[in-house]
């Protein structure tokens, strides 16, 4: 039995050529050569969320099996639901369901198998044309058709999964069980029907939770596909992966209705830290931005970078270090993320150049000889220790923050290159905080962090 396309002509065009043309219009040339096995994408009408969805889909790695994990908007049930359909139909053709795998899942996980739960549900159907447009061969020769199939081994099949009253760990376990030979689409919009400014505040908070992995703070009103999102982020946390933002906006940014808007965002899973992703793909962009922001300040002009990568709109903390003839010329930074990373870098670059009280403000003739580096900090983690000896055993090779009441100082990890001895490192940090080298107390606090260091080119 096939699942008919119920939302063609409403959520998306029912004419195949119009549908492909619309989907193609959402595509952008990617500067990042990375494909992910898991994404979060919205599921609204394409006129509203299509651009955000394609921004996520363009990072998806095709696999033999593509799970689409989505919320049920119309039916109430426990755990997850799977269908018996053989195909899901769209204007672009039929998408085959992996019924064999569904039977296997039903033996391993608490679920129900019922087509009727899927009958009126849009949150899976709207994702299918993206898969077909990106991964199914279009008007190709027989040889090209075979080549495309060889890329993934076999024809793509989908595993539609609807979540009911479900513990997110069930989704995390499901992803873990089938990770090796599958890709995963988490289908979810963000906040619903708030005024536009409130929507932006809520969605920014939601994005920060997704990107920092603090899923205990996610609440149902933040995203309709909350269970799937929490399941994927939990999987990312357990496997030292990161969620990278691809796009985020709301319906009010597209329509004239600012009173009741819906938020849309897309993310992809990266198998390392966010900062390592930024270092790998955006080092030149960051250094150019920092230097151009200093140049603009010298001209007394505001600097607003163009075409900001979405990952740099995530909140982050940075330090900008300036050197001239190998000597320090300024260094200012942020320990805690309080703004989008791109703005933090711009502010710290200008502060290092003109507001470091240890130096005179930078002059224009120095700019061409300036050596610039940017350090992007990880999250701060408190160090628990019994005494100073215990603390000394735990500080290398991290960046360290030392705090005693109102006195505080920070050293970046790169300082270990100049102060490789732990005791000398710690004593120097005490002096920087305004404490005697032999000072220690029960109230002193220490925090550690890592950092990627993007050096001048």
DSSP string for 302-358: ----SS--GGGGSB--EEEEEEETTEEEEEEE-SS--SBHHHHHHHHHHHHHH--TT
Fold that domain 277-376 belongs to in CATH: Glycoprotein, Type 4 Pilin (3.30.700)
DSSP string for 60-108: BPP-SEEEEEEE-SS---BSEEE---SEEEETTEEEEB-HHHHHHHHHH
User: For position 457, what pLDDT does the model report?
Assistant: 55
Q: In what order do the strands lie in the sheet with 407-411?
A: 381-382, 445-449, 399-404, 407-411
Residue boundaries of the structural domains of the chain? 2-272, 277-376, 381-454
Q: Which long-range contacts (CB under 8 A, 24 or more apart) does 132-138 make?
A: 132/90, 132/92, 132/93, 132/95, 133/19, 133/20, 133/23, 133/24, 133/92, 134/57, 134/58, 134/60, 134/62, 135/62, 136/92, 136/93, 138/20
Helix (H) or strand (E) segment spanning residue 53: helix 46-57
Helix 16-26, helix 128-135: angle, nearest 10: 80
Indicate the pTM of the whole model: 0.90
User: For position 256, what pLDDT does the model report?
Assistant: 84
Tokens for 34? 């990375």
Q: What CATH number is given for 2-272 in this structure? A: 3.40.830.10
We find that the CATH architecture of domain 381-454 is 2-Layer Sandwich (3.30)
User: For position 109, what pLDDT does the model report?
Assistant: 97
User: For position 153, what pLDDT does the model report?
Assistant: 46
pLDDT tens for the chain, residues 1 to 457: 899 999 999 999 999 999 999 999 999 988 899 999 999 999 999 999 999 999 999 999 999 999 999 999 999 999 999 999 999 999 999 999 999 999 999 999 999 999 999 999 999 999 999 999 999 865 444 555 555 555 544 589 999 999 999 999 999 999 999 999 999 999 999 999 999 999 999 999 999 999 999 999 999 999 999 999 999 999 999 999 999 999 999 999 999 889 999 999 999 999 999 999 999 999 999 999 999 999 999 999 999 898 899 999 999 999 999 999 989 999 999 999 999 999 999 999 999 999 999 999 999 999 989 999 999 999 999 999 999 999 999 999 999 999 999 999 999 999 999 999 999 999 999 999 999 999 999 999 999 999 999 987 5
User: For position 140, what pLDDT does the model report?
Assistant: 45
């Amino acid at each position: 039995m096939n699942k008919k396309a119920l939302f063609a002509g409403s959520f998306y065009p029912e004419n195949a050529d119009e549908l492909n043309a619309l989907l193609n219009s959402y595509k952008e040339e990617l500067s990042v050569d990375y494909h992910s096995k898991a994404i979060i994408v919205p599921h609204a009408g394409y006129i509203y969320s299509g651009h955000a969805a394609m921004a996520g889909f363009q990072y998806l790695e095709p696999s033999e099996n593509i799970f689409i994990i989505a919320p049920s908007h119309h039916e109430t049930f426990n755990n997850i639901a799977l269908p018996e359909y053989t195909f899901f139909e769209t204007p672009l053709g039929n998408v085959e369901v992996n019924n064999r795998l569904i039977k296997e899942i039903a033996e391993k996980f608490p679920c129900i198998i019922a087509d009727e739960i899927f009958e009126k549900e849009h949150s899976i159907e709207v994702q299918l044309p993206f898969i077909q447009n990106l991964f199914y061969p279009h008007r190709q020769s027989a040889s090209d058709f075979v080549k495309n199939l060889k890329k993934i081994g076999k024809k793509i099949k989908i595993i539609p999964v609807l979540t009911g009253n479900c513990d997110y760990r069930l989704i995390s376990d499901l992803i873990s069980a089938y990770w090796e030979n599958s890709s995963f689409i988490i289908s979810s919009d963000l906040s619903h029907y708030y005024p536009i400014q409130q929507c932006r505040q809520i969605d920014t908070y939601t994005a920060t939770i997704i990107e920092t992995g603090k899923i205990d703070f996610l609440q149902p009103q933040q995203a309709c596909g909350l269970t799937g999102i929490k399941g994927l982020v939990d999987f990312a946390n357990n496997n030292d992966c990161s969620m990278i933002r691809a796009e985020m906006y709301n319906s009010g940014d597209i329509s004239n209705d600012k009173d009741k808007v819906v938020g849309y965002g897309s993310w992809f899973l990266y198998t390392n830290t966010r900062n390592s992703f930024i270092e790998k793909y955006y080092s030149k962009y960051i250094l150019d931005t920092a230097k151009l922001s200093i140049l603009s300040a010298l001209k007394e002009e505001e600097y607003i970078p163009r075409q900001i990568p979405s990952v740099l709109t995530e909140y982050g903390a940075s330090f900008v270090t300036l050197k001239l003839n190998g000597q320090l010329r300024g260094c200012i930074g942020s320990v805690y993320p309080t703004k989008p990373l791109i703005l933090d870098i711009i502010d710290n670059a200008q502060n290092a150049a003109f507001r470091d009280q240890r130096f005179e403000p930078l002059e224009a003739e120095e700019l061409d000889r300036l050596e610039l580096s940017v350090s992007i900090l990880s999250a701060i983690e408190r160090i628990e220790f019994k005494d100073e000896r215990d603390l000394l055993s735990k500080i290398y090779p991290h960046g360290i923050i030392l705090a005693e009441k109102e006195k505080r100082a920070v050293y970046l990890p790169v300082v270990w290159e100049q102060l490789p001895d732990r005791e000398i490192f710690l004593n120097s940090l005490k002096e920087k905080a305004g404490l005697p080298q032999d000072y220690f107390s029960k109230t002193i606090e220490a925090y550690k962090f890592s950092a990627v260091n993007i050096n001048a080119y």
